[in-house]
Structure 1
Amino acid sequence: MKKTTTGLAVALCLSATSLAQAYDGRMTLGAVAGTTGLGADLAWRFNERFGISARYTGGIEREIDYSTNDVNYDGDVSLAGGKLTLDYYPFASGFFLSAGLMLPDIDADIVGRPRKAAYEFNGQEYPTDALGTLHGKATLVDGVRPYAGLGWRQAHRSGFGVFAEIGVIPTDPDVSLRTSIGYEDTNLPGSAQLREEIRQEEERLKDEAEKWPVYPVAVLGVSYTF
């Protein structure tokens, strides 16, 4: 009995050692596409439960259209983001939980035109030929933000596999507007009021953007584990 127990203990130790070695230093490289663009994901799984990963995606623009009570807006949203996380594999398989930092850059260059013959802000009309068009930048999220997510990465065995991950980052919207003619930057009669009207329009757009407190980060792709 003692000899059997000893043999079993040795076998378990050898098995554990072999498993640890199987995960030590394993690298996974993936090509991904998702809500922050196209890019690559690189992961190092240094044991069966933990690893670190880095990802960068970008190069995608999307057209948007949005209208307030007074102005029709259109523009192009630029999507990009880098990420560095610690990954936890609770079942020692491909499923992982991820937490860390992300550096997103999601903003839009927008152009606004009046919905009627003239701009109307809070009951006050401004001729289109006097103001031109509204130009500005709407930023949904920029700068370093915390990130949390979950996914699947074939880091538990070598070869090709499918990569998928979903997560969220908190947003921090900001909007800036100005007219193409620059009337609000002068000291002409009514320019001070127009500046105030534009600031209020910025706040309206910002309030709409704040209805999205988090931005969904979702990627899908293929990977190869060495």
Structure 2
Amino acid sequence: MKLLLRMLAIPTLLLAGPALADDDLAYDRFFLTPNVSTLGAGVEAGYRINRQWQVRAGINGGALNFVYKDKDSALHSRATLLNGGVTVDYFPFENDFYLSGGIRLSANKIEGRVKNLHGKLKNGSNVFVPDPLTSYTVRQNALQPYIGAGYSVKIKERVSLNFDLGLLYAGTPDVDVNSRAHTLGFARKDISSEIERARDRLAPFKVYPVATVGLKFEF
């Protein structure tokens, strides 16, 4: 009897082999991830290829008003975010931690005005101008490489909470300035100094931090 059971078990195991291999098909699925990020609100669509790899593409956007105050002026600004890209994730361990690399296209920009300006006229006298005489637009590099890491926490069978942390290399921001301050008696060197101060404030943003939280739905 035992011999008969063993003989019956052999074809059963042989049939089970492909089925066990097909368990990897659990990774052969698409997913959609709405998210919020330092890049704005967005959504990603992706495909989990196998245990080690997945690929995703997404778009983010948003807008924010803010004021940067300085002793000589206040920069009233509006940041407009619009960017999208492709990311490849690698799972090095037998868990849901992954390393990421990718590329994004950016149309992010900051538009603003210099208000409450304290300066000097050409005759040397000090002056205060509450209304803006100078406007500017700041743009990042259009093409930005991305590196990062993330972790996925299962909520239910096909729903997960995703966390991503990474960095975008945005390059040196480009500042386009339109000023009519010189027509009202401001020295051009003071205008140039104000522009350079604006460049210095933006210099740290060559590398842009990315933090993202999303809800992943698998199909």
TM-score interval (norm. to shorter)? 0.7 to 0.9
Partner of 1:144: 143
CA distance in 2, matches of 1:125, 1:138: 31
- Aligned equivalent of 1:70, options 69, 72, 75: 72
Deviation at 1:29, TM superposition (A): 0.5
Per the normalisation by structure 2, the TM-score is 0.78
Unaligned runs of 5+ in 1: none
Kindly indicate whether the alpha-carbon contact (under 8 Å) linking 2:116 and 2:132 is maintained by their aligned counterparts in 1: no
RMSD of the alignment, in Å?
Answer: 3.4
Matching residue of 1:21: 25
Letter paired with 2:45: L
Q: SS of the counterpart of 1:93?
A: coil
Instruction: Indicate conservation of the 8 Å contact 1:75/1:108, yes or no.
Output: yes
Moved more, 83-92 or 196-205: 196-205
Distance 1:132 1:165, change over 3 A: closer
Q: 2 CA distance for matches of 1:93 and 1:29?
A: 20
TM-score, normalised with respect to structure 1? 0.76
CA distance in 1, matches of 2:122, 2:146: 40
Identity of aligned residues (%): 24
Measure, in 2, the Cα distance between the counterparts of 1:46 and 1:122.
67
CA shift, 1:110, in A, is: 0.8
> Cα 1:79–1:124, aligned 2, differ >3 Å: closer, same or farther?
farther
State the partner residue of 2:110.
Answer: 108
Q: 2:209 aligns with which of 191, 216, 220?
A: 216
Q: Tell which structure's C-alpha radius of gyration is larger.
A: 2
The CA deviation at 1:33 is 0.9
Per the alignment, residue 89 of structure 1 pairs with 91
Q: What SS does the corresponding residue of 1:211 show, helix, strand or coil?
A: helix
Number of matched residues? 208
Q: Out of 94, 98, 101, which is 2:100 matched to? A: 98
Structure 2 partner of 1:204? 197
